[in-house]
Amino acid sequence: MIPRTLFTSDHETFRDTVRRFLENEAVPFHEQWEQDGQVPRELWTKAGEQGFLCPMVAEEYGGLGTNYLYSAVVSEEISRYGLTGIGWGLHTEIVAPYIEHYGSEEQKQKYLPKMVTGETISAIAMSEPGAGSDLQGVKTSAVRDGDGWVLNGSKTFITNGQNADVIIVVAKTDPSAGARGISLFLVDADMKGFERGKNLKKVGMKAQDTSELFFQDVKLPADALLGEEGKGFAYLMQELPQERLGIAVNGLAMAESALQHTLEYVKERKAFGQRIADFQNTQFKLAELHTELEVARVYVDRCMELHIEGKLDIPSAAAVKYYVTDLQCKVIDDCLQLHGGYGYMWEYPIARMFADARVQRIYGGTNEIMKTIISRALLES
């Protein structure tokens, strides 16, 4: 195994704390949460007490003021245990940075401290029934109404949708201006005209509350605008590299966990009078998967290093997202095959991973969109 040099002893101490917390507070209950379709709010507040939520937020707003690596540690451990119902990554690595980077001082003071403690759960509403990866195609609109705005539209596939207390909503403020006509708004869940739709039933990630959201004549005050009017698309483009890197971090950790589960299984399971591990095909396949994951690990760690240095550009983030999630699905599929019929049984972790992994190639921008971004950068260089 190639040793990881990116994380210090402090990171690894933090990792041990995260692991113990998840083993005690999440792993024993995740199957029930899959049946419930969401995790309890109490898990969020317990995590907040431990400093697992929004560690990158500045200390003046209650965070730890750390770099991305502490958040990556939390995400890796959640993925290793297959705890895909826990929506902390979106809350920590996507929503909080938008508020901290583009919000007013009043918005930061209002939302960030309670996001750190887990009292406030957040979501971001981009996708719509008729617009997924095409962010410029959103139909949700925000129209001027005196000093404020009136918001109308619907969103779908929204992570943390049932639990969210505040939602960043992507809306058109000038339909004639293309990308420059998109703005972001902070919508509190108790606002009149906001309604949650059903908790969507999915192929995988069954414990994650993924919802439809509806906005009917929601009257927003002037200070609900996040950042400047018409800058929403630019903000999205600036923040998407971290989101896509996070998807790669999660994907690789899950794939590594899948291989570990498979190694344990093939050493114990027997067929035709010998262990599955003793067949040459098994040995060759394990060697292939190990090597591919080692290559991906070096790649992902390097991208994290670049991100910390402020050098991870949009095409590079797209590349690591597409490469790792494609590999994740391949590795898990091969690992399931080595489990035989038991790999298709929901009680085995590999079956859950197989179902959970598939969406990785879709959200955060489909892998086809990632390839379009990469090719454009190549052709324009």
Q: Are 248 and 79 in contact (CB under 8 A)?
A: no
- Rg over alpha carbons for the chain, rounded to the nearest Å, is 21
pLDDT classification of 381: cutoffs 50, 70, 90: confident
Q: Are 249 and 308 in contact (CB under 8 A)?
A: no
Region 277-303: what's the mean pLDDT? Answer: 98
pLDDT classification of 128: cutoffs 50, 70, 90: very high
pLDDT classification of 131: cutoffs 50, 70, 90: confident
Q: Which residues of 111-149 are buried (b: 16+ CB within 10 A; e: fewer)?
A: bbbbbbbbebbbbbbbbbeebbbebeebebbbeeeeebb
Cα separation, 373 vs 377, in Å, equals: 6
What the block records as the tokens of 111 is: 């939302």
Region 207-227: what's the mean pLDDT? Answer: 97
Region 217-236: what's the mean pLDDT? Answer: 97
Percent residues over pLDDT 70 in the chain: 99
pLDDT surpasses 70 at 133 = no
User: Phi and psi dihedrals of 104, rounded to 5?
Assistant: -75, 170
pLDDT of residue 330: 98
Residues 6+ apart with CB under 8 A from 345: 351
Region 50-63: what's the mean pLDDT? Answer: 98
Neighbours of 150 (CB within 10 A): 17
Cα separation, 191 vs 69, in Å, equals: 35
Torsion on CA atoms 130, 135, 140, 144, rounded to nearest 10: -160
Residues 6+ apart with CB under 8 A from 130: 137, 139
pLDDT classification of 137: cutoffs 50, 70, 90: confident
Rounded mean pLDDT of the chain?
96
pLDDT surpasses 90 at 135 = no
Query: Ramachandran region of residue 37, left (φ > 0), alpha (ψ -120 to 50) or beta?
Result: left
Q: Which domains does the chain have, with CATH numbers?
A: 9-120 (1.10.540.10), 123-230 (2.40.110.10), 234-380 (1.20.140.10)
What the block records as the tokens of 90 is: 């979106």
Tell me whether residue 161 is exposed, middle or buried, using C-beta atoms within 10 angstroms of its C-beta: 0 to 12, 13 to 18, 19 or more. Answer: buried
pLDDT of residue 58: 98
Strands 270-271 and 225-226: unpaired
Torsion on CA atoms 371, 376, 379, 381, rounded to nearest 10: -120
- pLDDT digits 0-9 by tens, 161-205: 999 999 999 999 999 999 999 999 999 999 999 999 999 999 999
Q: Are 130 and 150 in contact (CB under 8 A)?
A: no
Residues 6+ apart with CB under 8 A from 179: 136, 233, 234
Percent residues over pLDDT 90 in the chain: 96
Region 127-139: what's the mean pLDDT? Answer: 81
- pLDDT digits 0-9 by tens, 86-114: 999 999 999 999 999 999 999 999 999 99
pLDDT of residue 327: 98
Query: What residues act catalytically?
Result: 243
pLDDT of residue 134: 72
- pLDDT digits 0-9 by tens, 4-56: 999 999 999 999 999 999 999 999 999 999 999 999 999 999 999 999 999 99
